[in-house]
A and B are shown apart, each in its own frame.
Chain A
Amino acid sequence: MATGKPPAGGAEKRNQEGKSGQEGKPTREKRGVPSGLWLRCGGCGATVFRKEVEQRLSTCPDCDFHMYLSAAGRIAAVLDDGTFEEWDGNLSPTDPLEFEDKKKYRERLIAEQKRTGLRDAVMSGSGMIRARRVAFGVTDSAFIMGSMGSVVGERLTRLVERATEQKLPLIIVSGSGGGARMHEGIFSLMQMAKVSAALARYSEAGGLFISVLTNPTMGGVAASFASLGNVIFAEPKALIGFAGPRTIKATIRIELPEGFQTSEFLLEHGYIDRIVRRAELKSEIARVIDYCGWS
C-alpha cells in the first residue's frame, strides 16, 4: 500500500497475468496462423505439431504443459462420447450497466461470441462419465478471460440446483483468469454469493462436488465455487489464486517466489487434494464418484 492506492480486490480481471494460459487459444486473426500446422508451447517454448497436441488433449508432447482447452474440448475430454446434453443454452448476457470503457461492453460481447462460438464463458448440462450420470459445468477462459457475469453465475446456480434435485454428482471445471466480470459490476460480484449459497444447499443434501481447477483460476471464481469442492483437483502447473501476481507485486514490492500460485504451490499449502494430468482426469473423477457419489 506504499503506492497510496488501495489494492485491487479479488474480483478483477487480470488479462496480463498468467500469459502461459493463453497458449493454444484460438488466435485472433490479426496475429495470423489461426489454423496453422504448428503451435508454440507456453511451457517449454518448443514448436510442436498442432495435430499431435490435439491428440494429447492440448498438452505439449515435449514437456506435458497443459495448454488452453475450450469448453467443447473439455466436454469431449471428460464426458463419454455423445452423452452431453446442454442445459440453459438459451441464456445470453446483457449489459445491465450500459458499461463502456474504451469499448462498449455490448460490442465486446458480440466480438467474443463471434470469436469463440459461445454465448458466454460457460457451458453446462448433464452427461455420463464412464457410465455415471453427472451434472457438468465448465468455464471457458477464452471468453472475456472466463470471467463470471450474470450468465455464468445463473447457469452454474441452475446446474447446482438441478444436481441437488436429481441427486447427481457435480463436476465444474474452472478456467477463469478474470474472476468476477467487471463489465457487469456488482451483479458479477453477487454471482459469487449466489452460486456459493446453492452449493451450501447441495452439500447439505449430501451432494458430491468435484471442483477441477485449470489454468488460470483467479479472483472471484477462485474465491467462490472453484474453492468449494468436496474434492478439489488441479491440472499441473495451473495458475490459481485470489489476487493476481501483478497486484501482489505492486502491493508488497518484492519479487514473488518461484512457482507462487501454481497447482503445486496450492498442493503444498493444503488447498487442493490432487494434481491430476488431463489424460487421467476422467478416470480420477469416476473413481471419486465411486467412493462418495450418489449413483
Chain B
Amino acid sequence: MSTTALSLPFEKRITEIEDTIRKLEVLEPRTGDVRDQIRAQRKVLNETVKSIYSGLDPWETVRVARHPDRPQLTDYIDLVFDEFVELHGDKFFGDDRAMRTGFAKLDGMKLMLVGHQKGKTTKERTECFFGCAHPEGYRKAMEKMKLAAKYGLPIVTMIDTPGAYPGIGAEERGQAQVIAESMMAMSRLPVPIICVVIGEGGSGGALGIGVGDRVAVLEYAYYSVISPEGCAGILWKSHDFAPQAAGALKITSKHLHDMGIVDDVVEEPLGAAHRDPYQMAGRLKMYLLKTLRELEQIPTDELLSQRYEKYRQMGRYLEESEASNSTSENS
C-alpha cells in the first residue's frame, strides 16, 4: 500500500527512508554492497517506525485514525469474514451507504455484521457522507440487530464515523430519537454483541451502534464525546486548538482502557493498520473469534445483566456519606 502521496507530517522521515529503499531496490546490478545497504536501511526503517509510533501524541493518533489508507469496514469484510450477505433495507426511508449491515460468516460462525463505511474513492465517500450516517442508517442497523436477536445470531459492530450526519433531512427524520432507541434496544438484545472501534469513534454516531458485551478499540483508533475540532471550536473558540482538545479529552486507546471505558485494545501492526491491513485483519479476526467463543458460553440472562452492569458502573462522581461525613469517589 503506497503511503508516499498520503503520508502524515510526522511520517516524513519514514517516507524518506522508504524512498531510499525503493531507489536501492531498482539499482542494477544488485551487488552485495547494495544488498547490505538495503538491509541496513530496512533496519533503520523498522526502528524509525517503531520510535515514531510509540510516541504519537493524541492529535497524531487522530490523524492516524483518519488516514485515507486505513482499512475500512469493506476491507475487513473481505479480509476477516468468509462471506457477507448484505441486507440493505431499513424498511422505512432508504438505503444509507454510510451504514452497512448483513449476515456474515467468521470461520464458519454465523453472525450479523453492522458497521460504518466511510468510502475509499471520492465517489464512494460522497455516497457515504464520509461515514456520517443518517437516521435511516441507524434504523437499518437497529432492524438488522433485532433480526439477528430473533434468530439467535451474535452481533459484531464496527464503528468508524466522525459523527452522525448533521443536516436538515437527518433532523427531520429523527436523528436524536433513532440513536436513543438504538442504544436502548442494544442494551436488551438477547444475543452476544461485540463492538469494535476500527477508526473514528465519533460521539453519539458511534455509540448508536456501540452498546455491547465487549467493546474494543484498535490501538490507533479513538473514541470521543465530541470531535477535537468541535471541542476546540466551542471551548477555545478556534478549530486551531484541536490538538490541545484531543489531549484534554483523553481519547486514545490507552486512556480509554485505563479509564475502564473499553474492555480490550487490539494491537495494530508496526506503523499502524494502514501499513499492513492483512496483519491487522488477522489480529481482528483472532480477537473476534476468541471473544465470541467466550460470550457464547454465558447464559442469556447472565449476559444481559453483565451488559447492564458494565454501563451501570461508568461515570465518576463524589458521593458524600451522611453518616460519616466522608466522601468517596466512585469507580
Contacts and interface: CB of A to CB of B under 8 A. Distances in A.
B171 A241 contact: yes
Contacts of B115: none
Interface centre among A226, A244, A251 (most CB of B within 10 A): A251
Contacts, number: 268
Q: How large is the interface on B (under 10, 10 to 19, 20 to 34, 35 or more residues)?
A: 35 or more
B175 A223 contact: yes
Given A260-B171, A271-B177, A102 B236 contact: yes
Contacts of A226: 176, 180
A119 B234 CA distance: 23
Given A190-B261, A243-B170, A200 B230 contact: no
B294 interface: no
Contacts of A270: 174
Interface string A240-278: 111110011001100011001100010001110000000
Q: How large is the interface on A (under 10, 10 to 19, 20 to 34, 35 or more residues)?
A: 35 or more
B305 to A, nearest CB: 10
Interface string B106-132: 000000000000000000000001101
B287 to A, nearest CB: 21
Interface stretch (B12-20, B24-32, B310-318): B310-318
Nearest to A9: B203
Contacts of B162: 6-7, 9
A248 B134 CA distance: 13
Interface stretch (A47-55, A69-77, A179-187): A179-187
Contact of B163 (A7, A222, A265): A7
A252 B204 contact: no
Contact of A227 (B180, B200, B256): B180
A12 B229 CA distance: 11
Contacts of A94: 316-318, 329
A6 B163 contact: yes
A251 B229 CA distance: 13
Interface of B: 66, 129-130, 132, 162-168, 170-177, 179-181, 183-185, 187-188, 200, 202-208, 210-211, 223-227, 229-231, 233-236, 239, 244-245, 248-251, 256, 259, 261, 307-308, 311-312, 314-322, 329-330
